[in-house]
């Protein structure tokens, strides 16, 4: 039977590229993109549906119409935005997940993907080489909702047999789509500003080291997880994965190898710094490597070179 895939939250940073990857793999008509807003353009043979994941009736009609075999739930309020609107973040991140899990059970969806985040870790989690299992005491509503979501996913698998799979994404870096309000977004904006103005005012301190993942690796890892046989998926909360770790100063140094006159300054007292200070500086992803052969391909040098080459081609250095 052909796969029928629904992606909820398809307009975001990850969703934009995941839609393209899944359509390349399964065919244009087999992948239904959906979001609360229309994208800038929709081709005639690429189905798109307006949907609010909190509207259970509309979501039910969507499942009835398409009878999906796979569902990817990407709709979420991210870390920095969530601190401005905590009730909204909790409602979307938790109740949207519950709606999708309930309908996936009702419609016997074969596989469900839901992303978690390194935001589940907190000030008492190990800062370096943070393991899969450790103290998790998130300090943001985003992190709290993701930790609760992990437990909900595990519960629905153990209690109801829903084949739900998850990755704890670190910061995601991409040249194709704008970021969506996360604390690690500096690592995307810096490239746009470097090409446009040759300088960047960073909201994180020079030595704030965080785990990062290039979008190509994020998409490849997500597809690999979803392709793995169910009996190889030993973790039903969420898997650690990572690509590389670096600080704003390290990233600025890598950019200078391509743009020698680039300069960076640091803005003090930005609220995103307090969020970043509670997150790990590096991640241990041994379980993902063991269970479904995860391995990243992009390090700092490769990320920097690819971002600059592609942004020069596509945006002429214009800022997001």
Structure tokens at 9: 């939250």
Beta strand pairing call for 31-35 and 116-117: unpaired
Contacts of 311 (CB under 8 A, 6+ apart): 175, 191, 192, 195, 317
- The 244-246 sheet, strands edge to edge: 171-173, 210-214, 244-246
Q: What letters, b where the CB count within 10 A reaches 16 and e where it falls short, cover 94-126?
A: bebbebbbbbbbeeebbbbbbbbbbbbbbeebe
The C-alpha torsion from 111 through 157 and 114 to 242, rounded to 10°, is -100
Structure-token pair, residue 150: 């992990």
Alpha helices in the chain (DSSP H): 13-26, 56-66, 79-84, 86-90, 96-106, 141-160, 186-197, 215-227, 248-256, 271-276, 286-292, 300-314
The gap between the terminal CA atoms of the chain, to the nearest Å, is 41
User: Which of 142, 156, 239, 298 is an active site residue?
Assistant: 142
Q: Which residues have C-beta within 8 Å of that of residue 173, sequence separation ≥ 6? A: 187, 188, 212, 213, 214, 215, 303, 307
Distance, in Å, from the CA atom of 157 to the CA atom of 166, rounded to the nearest integer, reads: 12
Distance CA 203, CA 193 (A): 13
Rounded Cα gap, residues 20 and 262, in angstroms:
33
Residue 42: DSSP 8-state: -
Beta bridge partners of 5: 31, 70
Rg (CA), the chain: 19
- Our answer to whether residue 142 is catalytic in this structure is yes
Q: Which residues does the annotation mark as catalytic?
A: 142
């Amino acid at each position: 039977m052909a796969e029928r895939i629904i992606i909820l939250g398809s307009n975001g940073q990850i969703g934009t590229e995941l839609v393209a990857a899944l359509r390349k793999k399964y065919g244009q008509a087999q992948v239904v993109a959906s979001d609360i807003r229309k994208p800038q353009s929709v081709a005639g043979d690429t189905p798109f549906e307006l949907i609010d994941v909190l509207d259970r009736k509309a979501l039910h009609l969507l499942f009835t119409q398409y009878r999906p075999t796979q569902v990817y739930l990407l709709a979420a309020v991210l870390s920095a935005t969530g601190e401005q609107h905590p009730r909204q973040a909790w409602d979307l991140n938790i109740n949207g997940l519950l709606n999708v899990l309930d309908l996936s059970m009702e419609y016997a969806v074969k596989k469900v993907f839901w992303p978690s985040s390194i935001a589940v870790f907190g000030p008492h989690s190990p800062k370096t080489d943070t393991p899969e299992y450790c103290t998790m005491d998130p300090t943001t509503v985003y992190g709290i909702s993701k930790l609760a979501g992990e437990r909900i996913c595990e519960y629905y698998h153990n209690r109801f047999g829903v084949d739900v799979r998850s990755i704890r994404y670190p910061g995601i870096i991409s040249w194709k789509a704008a970021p969506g309000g996360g604390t690690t977004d500096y690592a995307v904006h810096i490239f746009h500003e470097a090409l446009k103005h040759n300088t960047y005012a960073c909201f994180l301190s020079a030595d704030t080291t965080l785990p990062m993942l290039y979008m190509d690796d994020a998409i490849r890892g997500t597809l690999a997880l979803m392709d793995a046989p169910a009996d190889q998926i030993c973790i039903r909360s969420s898997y650690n994965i990572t690509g590389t770790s670096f600080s704003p100063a390290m990233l600025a140094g890598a950019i200078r190898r391509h743009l020698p006159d680039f300069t960076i300054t640091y803005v003090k007292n930005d609220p995103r710094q307090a969020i970043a200070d509670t997150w790990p500086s590096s991640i241990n992803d041994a379980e993902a490597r063991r269970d479904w052969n995860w391995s990243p391909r992009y390090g700092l040098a490769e990320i920097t070179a690819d971002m600059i080459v592609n942004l020069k081609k596509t945006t002429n250095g214009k800022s997001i």
